[in-house]
Structure 1
Amino acid sequence: MQTENEIVSITFFEYPKRNRWWAFNQMQLAIAPLKKARGVKFFKLMGTGGGSGFSLKPDLKTYALLMVWENQDFAKNFTTSDAYLRFNQQCKSNFTYWMQCIQSHGTWHSQQPFSPMDKKATGPVMVITRARLKWSKVLRFLTQVPAGSRAAAGAEGLIYTKGIGEWPAIEQATFSYWKNQQFMENFAYQSAHRDIVRKVKKEHWYQEELFARFVPVSLDQSQAASPRS
């Protein structure tokens, strides 16, 4: 279980066309500076998909930076660091969701990145799902992507969702933000998404997977993170 202080952030950076090659190169070049960020326990810089949830079409203008911080002071200070400022200077816009993990199972590259706190979601809830597919199941997975994307696009209570990942098709994740836990569970257990999950389990598509839930927080403790539509 985590201390009350651990903070998770995910920032979506949108780049103008002239800076997209720079942004793509940061997938490797930014690793060393990000490792030096004070108080960071885990991070992933990822590309994004162009549809709802998992997507076959990349969004070449948008990149996601997921970070886990020891406490909110380190999280706050990151926005004044050289690593962050370099992203901020090159992008057209960015938005950060600040969260605390309340549930997590599975691993990400054999690590358990999130330490859940003993807290229930009484309002909005965020979810990160991540999977590394077996090579033999990639084509099977890709045939299911359109149905899953359509279900996500029409999901009641969904505020925002974005497909994220380190490698197209092989290492995929999704970030989603819901009005409350009931809407999220309705989508997970009473839709086309449920049928896809059943196929995943029955046919053993994944080498590794992770599921985590979060609640939004504000770093000044005054209000929850603002919804993004």
Structure 2
Amino acid sequence: MPLVTLTILKFAPGDRYRAFANMGRWLMKPFDEVGLRFQKMMGTGKNFGFIPDFSQYVFLGVWQDEASANAFFTSERWQPFLPKDTHGISTLYLQPFKSHGLWDGVNPFTPDKALPPPDPAAPVAVLTRANIRPGALLDFYRNIPQARQRIADQGDNLLLAMGVGEKPLVQQCTISVWKNAALVDQFAYRQSGHREIVKKTRDSKWYSEELFARFSVLRMEGEISLRFKV
């Protein structure tokens, strides 16, 4: 069964130079692993914004099966990328059930149609990713404070929220975990503020490429905070 993993790597102040160097190392030579179908090493933004947080990075992997993921995460190839403090490592294990759009020209999260529908009462992870057109950068970032406030207003409905990205400013991604699918729908389609921002992105054609995906949360490992402070 295909599997998506999202690993959050939190580094202590004295370890941040090595973390930044690891990002460059991965860019020059991504992992070449059996069963690894798609991968991204990404930086994060402070307070769900665009100012880089050099203490925190995210590795996203799409795997042929869980055995492939487990073999990699216990391998010597992965160990140099980890914080010295193991409490800074957290991983979400996810199963996509809805995905549309493209990431680097492909949809890496195509759901397995043979799987049963997700439990409507179970937590749901949401990933959005976009290439922002250069001419739309100013408008996009003017709307960041409003979007950040909408996220903060969700309270306990939202278990985790992060702003991440591949390239500063122009390739952005958000990751969130919600208590259930109904809360995601309410935020995405019925809550004022967010609807208007989504409409604006369509009307103004902010993005040259975008992707939206939802996942069942199979499990969480490590020290993931159940409420990411925004």
| One-letter code aligned to 2:44 | T
The DSSP-based 3-state class of the residue aligned with 2:209 is strand
How far apart are the structure 2 equivalents of 1:50 and 1:91? 21
How far apart are the structure 1 equivalents of 2:136 and 2:84? 37
| One-letter code aligned to 1:109 | D
- Work out which of the residue numbers 209, 217, 225 in structure 1 matches 2:220: 225
Residue 204, structure 1, aligned to residue 198, structure 2: no
Partner of 1:50: 46
Which region of structure 1 is more displaced relative to structure 2, 200-209 or 20-29?
Answer: 20-29
Is residue 158–residue 184 contact of structure 1 (8 Å, CA) maintained in 2? no
Unaligned runs of 5+ in 2: none
- Work out which of the residue numbers 104, 108, 111 in structure 1 matches 2:106: 111
How far apart are the structure 2 equivalents of 1:91 and 1:171? 29
Q: How many residues align?
A: 217
| One-letter code aligned to 2:74 | T
Partner of 2:176: 176
Aligned-residue offset at 1:115:
1.9
How far apart are the structure 2 equivalents of 1:91 and 1:167? 27
Root-mean-square deviation (CA, aligned residues, Å) is 1.7
Aligned-residue offset at 1:120:
2.4
Aligned-residue offset at 1:50:
1.1
Partner of 1:12: 8
Partner of 1:159: 159
How far apart are the structure 1 equivalents of 2:20 and 2:147? 27
The normalised TM-score by structure 1 is 0.89
| One-letter code aligned to 1:213 | R
Unaligned runs of 5+ in 1: 218-223
Is residue 11–residue 83 contact of structure 2 (8 Å, CA) maintained in 1? no
Aligned-residue offset at 1:191:
3.3
Aligned-residue offset at 1:45:
0.1
Residue 187, structure 1, aligned to residue 187, structure 2: yes
Partner of 1:38: 34
How far apart are the structure 1 equivalents of 2:85 and 2:128? 26
Is residue 90–residue 220 contact of structure 2 (8 Å, CA) maintained in 1? no
Partner of 1:127: 126
Aligned-residue offset at 1:89:
4.8
How far apart are the structure 2 equivalents of 1:160 and 1:68? 20
The normalised TM-score by structure 2 is 0.89
Aligned-residue offset at 1:97:
0.2
Partner of 1:26: 22
| One-letter code aligned to 2:196 | D
